[in-house]
Amino acid sequence: MFEPVKNSTQIEAVVALAEQIWTEHYTPIIGQAQVSYMLQRYQTAAVIRDELQQLQPKVEYYLMTMDTQYLGYLGIRYQDDGIFLSKIYVSKVARGQGFSRLAMDFLKQKLRDVGGHQISLTVNKHNSDSIAAYQRLGFVITQEVCIDIGGGFEMDDYRMSLTVPAS
């Protein structure tokens, strides 16, 4: 279900999913120009490869799979208090089928494995469907964050977190 991204073929699958999902989901929220800019800055094969090589073991990517089909991906960064979920993207055909809940179960186990207690993420303030989905999973808004990402764009987000009790 969650396949660690370790080789070029898997990295290319992440890039293809990013282009598909971001274009479909985020263009109505932030516009095509910012989507294109962010894909080029954060989700090219070279950027992902560098992230995985230079930031290991703190950064990991996983492809969400069903049978042999890739349906989405996760990107996580380990922090002192837990995991920062930098990326969770599910293709349109797989949304509403429980993949986000399965991803949270997977992340909670990873969190317990490292002795952490919190999963945090950022989400665009206008991404109401995703905010509602995170709230259904138990996340709460903890902070407003606005970051200049260059190119005349900013990420205007909420930081959300989920406290996970030790089992």
pLDDT in tens, 70-95: 999 999 999 988 999 999 999 988 77
What's the pTM? 0.92
3-state secondary structure 12-75: HHHHHHHHHHHHHHHHHHHCHHHHHHHHHHHCCHHHHHHHHHHCCCCEEEEEEEECCEEEEEEE
Within 10 A of 131 (CB to CB), how many other CB atoms are there? 17
Calculate mean pLDDT across residues 3-22: 97
> Is-contact 55 76, C-beta < 8 A?
no
Domain ranges of the chain: 2-163
> Is-contact 139 162, C-beta < 8 A?
yes
pLDDT in tens, 102-142: 999 999 999 999 999 999 999 999 999 999 999 999 999 99
CATH number corresponding to 2-163 = 3.40.630.30
